Structure formats: C-alpha cells, structure tokens
Amino acid sequence: MTDSPAVRAPLDPKEQPVLDQLLGIRTQLELLRADKSTYVKSEDVIRLFNTLIDQVEVLNQLRSNNRLEQNRVDTVLDDCFQLVSLAYMAIGKNHEAPAVYSALSTVKRLLDHLHEAAFFSPKDLESVGHRLEEYKSTVERGRESYSPQLTTLLEARLEGCQHLLSKLQHSLEKLSPEQKVTYEKLVSILRSLSACNTKSKYPATEVKNLHAQLKEIAQHLESENKFDINLSDSERFAQVMQTMHMRESKNLEGEQLVADLLNRCLLWHDIIEQKQGRIDERFEETYKKLLGIRNQLEKLQLTQAWSLRETDLYSFQRQLDRIDESRVDGNFLDATGQPADLHTQRTLLYLLRKSYSLIYFLIISSEPVSEALLPIYNQLNTLKRCLEEVKISGGVSSPRELYPYSMKLNSIDNMRIDGKFMIGSDIPDGQGAVNHLLAECFDLAYELRLEATQDSDDEGEAAPPEPERASVTAE
C-alpha cells in the first residue's frame, strides 16, 4: 500500500482490531478511487466516513491515558482521512468539514517548505491566509453536523497552520510597498531560474535574460555581490541562508530582506549556469521520479475540468510524502548515507515544493459539483465562456446566429427531471451550482437575442424609403 515512511512505535496488541478495520476501510476507499467505470457515489463515501469515525472513537478510548501515541494505526488512519477527504470533494461536498482534511495537510506541507526555503512572496501568504479562513468557517459550520472527533482534529491542524503562517507574515512586516514589489519580483526570478534548471534542454537565453533582470535590480539598489571569492558554492549558500533565517529572531529591515534575497538569486544563477541541468547521478532516480510527478500534475492543471478525479491526488500526495520524509535533517542522502551536492539538493527541493503547490492549486480549484455532474457542468462552463466572448466582440447581427447555443442549452435543460439532474435514480450533489450556471447561460443568450432584435428594428427604421430603392434598381 502507501504507508508514510515515518518510523512508528510498536503496535499495542489492543489496537490490532482497530488497525484491521482501518486497513479494510482504506482498501474500500482505494477501490472506489481506482474504479473509473462509474462515478464515486455519495452513500458509499458517507458510509465509509461514518465507519472511520467509529474507529477513531474506539482508538481514543484505548488511548485515554496516552494521547501522544504514534504507530502504524496513525499512519493508516491518516491515509483513510486523506482518501475520504478527497472523496468528499469528488462527490461535490467541497464545503463540508471532512473535505478540509486533505487541504489542510497540503497547506501544512507548503508552509513548512516555505519556512525551510526562507523565501516566499507576500501574495503566497495572502492566498494561504484567505484559504485558512474559509476552512475555519467550514469547520465551524460542521460543528453540529459532524463528530467532535473530527472537528477537534481539524481545529488542531488549523491552529498549526495559522501559527506557522503568522510566523512567516511577521518576517516580511517591514517591507515597504516599493520594497514589496522588488521582493516579489526577486521571488519570481528565483523560481523561474529553478524552473529553467529542470527543463530537458538548458534554456541559456532565458537564464541570461533573468540574470540581466537581477543585475538591473542590483544597480537600482546600488547593491553588489559581496561573497568571499575564496568560499565554495556550498559555503556561500550557507552564508546566505544563515543571514536570511536571522529574520525570524531579528525581524530585519525591508532593505536587508531584499538584499539577502538578491544575493541568493545571484548565487543560484551562478550555480545553475555552471551545472546547466546536470544532476548528480546518485540521485538520478529521485530526480526523474519528482520530475515525472511535477509534469503529470502540470498536465492535470491544464485538463483538470475534464480529467481530474480528486481522489487521484492521493497517490501523488503519498509519493511526495515518502520522498519528503526520507530526508535526514532536511538533506537528501544517497544509498551510503552521503548528502547530495548543493545544486542537487536545491533542485530536488524545488521539484518537491512545486509538486505540493500544484496539488494545492488543484484542490482549491476543485468545483463543488459531483463527479457525476461534471460533464454537464463543464459543457455549461464552455457555453458561458463562448456567449461571453460573443457579447464582448459586439454581439450577433441576427437572432439566428444564437440557434446553436439555444439548442444546446435546451437539450441540457431537458435533461432535468422536476428541476433536478438525475443520474439513474440518484440525485448527485452540486445541483445548485449546475442550475445556477444553466440560468446564467440562458440569461446571456436572452440578452444577446434582445440586442440583436433591437439592432434589426433600428436598421429597419433607418432604411431609405422603398420607392428610392426601386429607383436605384431601375437605373
């Protein structure tokens, strides 16, 4: 299966029945995820969730005197919560408390990595902060509907994420508005350099352009690269990182924060220019695995609306978790326990963090519509975009031009039974969202038809008298 690699304490024999039940729940959730012949049904997910909560209550009773116990039961329990959380999203219950679990797990990973990396954009933190507020509201709404076991667990995770977010926000407090713009530009350049470093063919021209931007910023700041030329790349990087991490205790001035990040960008440019995408062969397997995950997630990002089943994210999450947790003191080690060189370490970390951020994007982009209704929802979204483009480009010259849109909308509308979209005898979640989108499309089509009709009437009124047209024809 897909257990986390973290070392666990031996299993208490009393917990064996709980573990057996959890393994069975996980297997059933895995089967739901893997079966692409049908959509994930609400009753199956809710039944498994309730069974899972029952086992949590049994486990809590067994651990009444030892709340800090961590063993394989906790690993499998986390797997179950991750799967059931993503399954709630697949059935369109994105705004229900169970769906929050997976999102919070990903946010925690992201914040941990931002803290470790010691660079991030203020916009990154604003986005995460906004999401945490939404998740907090979701958990609060679910307080009466769901077990206290679940709400307590989610509140603890929320608190951990909020604490780390506040810590990161505090480190950037002294950036002035102008410095914030420069800082965000440097963050973008650093990430772009890392992306260049992982391309199949080293993009020398793109890297050169990014370096030119760095030099322009350095001139504007009247800053110089003050590295000791006698230091190795690793020593120079350690020097930069040490300075950047000082912000946590000293809350550095904005000018120093920008200067630190600029130095780091310049150093990273020098390193990747020297390596040009070549990775230490000892870590080639890990690199290819992370690169493959990143590429698959980027494809899903482009085709999400049509091809993503949210539970598919579970396998990506677990693969990344295993790689992340295999690090020792933050370092990737080879088979003999030796750490990778600086370039390889930072390249692998970039791919790991990028993959987590893509999962986060896919989670927050998930529509609150059941997988069963997604084909209809996606068709309506496409129709809406087309109608909006027609309106922006000046509308139609005749109501006849709207016939294809009207026919499609009517065919979708006729699929409803008593105002609901049915799949067999089931009424999938997301009815409100689909009906609202259908109404928007009808409204757009009506507005375009009305404008076209008015334009036709105006042209008729402005037309020259009939006798004159006859005279012209006679000539």
Residue 156 tokens read as 């603890």
Q: What pLDDT is attached to residue 247?
A: 45
Distance CA 101, CA 89 (A): 11
Residue 157 tokens read as 């995770």
Percent of the chain with pLDDT over 70: 85
Predicted model pTM: 0.83
Q: What pLDDT is attached to residue 229?
A: 44
Q: What pLDDT is attached to residue 70?
A: 72
Q: Which amino acid is at 428?
A: P
Contact 90, 309 (CB under 8 A): yes
pLDDT category, 466, cuts 50, 70, 90?
very low
DSSP class of residue 369 equals S
* Strand-pair partners of 331: 328
Q: What pLDDT is attached to residue 235?
A: 58
Instruction: Find how far residue 225's CA is from the centre of its chain.
Output: 35
Is the pLDDT at 474 greater than 70? The verdict is no
Average pLDDT over residues 256-268: 90
Q: Which of 163-167, 248-252, 298-302, 469-473 shows the lowest mean pLDDT across its residues? A: 469-473
Is the pLDDT at 475 greater than 60? The verdict is no
Q: Establish how many alpha carbons lie within 13 A of residue 371's alpha carbon, considering only the half-sphere containing its beta carbon.
A: 24
* Cα-based distances in Å from 121 to 187, 191, 196: 6, 11, 19
Sign of CA dihedral 60, 65, 68, 69: negative
DSSP class of residue 338 equals P
Average pLDDT over residues 362-370: 90
Name the nearest CA neighbour of 340 among 291, 293, 295, 275: 275
Distance CA 346, CA 191 (A): 11
Q: What pLDDT is attached to residue 383?
A: 94
- What are the pLDDT digits (tens) for 369-392? 998 898 999 999 999 999 999 999
Average pLDDT over residues 449-458: 78
Q: Which amino acid is at 93?
A: K
- What are the pLDDT digits (tens) for 159-200? 999 999 999 999 888 889 999 999 999 999 999 999 999 998
Q: Which of 33-42, 200-209, 444-453 shows the lowest mean pLDDT across its residues? A: 33-42
Distance CA 197, CA 200 (A): 9
pLDDT category, 469, cuts 50, 70, 90?
very low
Q: What pLDDT is attached to residue 93?
A: 92
Backbone angles phi and psi of 273, in degrees to 5: -65, -35
Cβ neighbors of 251 (< 8 A, separation 6 or more) are 170, 171, 173, 174
Average pLDDT over residues 417-435: 90
- What are the pLDDT digits (tens) for 7-36? 455 677 888 999 999 999 999 999 998 888
| Burial class for 441, CB neighbours closer than 10 Å (0-12, 13-18, 19+) | buried
Name the nearest CA neighbour of 446 among 457, 456, 454, 435: 454
Average pLDDT over residues 380-409: 92
Q: What pLDDT is attached to residue 27?
A: 95
Average pLDDT over residues 324-342: 91
Give per-residue burial for 136-157: e unless 16+ CB within 10 Å, then b: bebbeebeeebbebbbebbeeb
Show me where the domains of the chain are located: 1-93, 177-275, 372-460
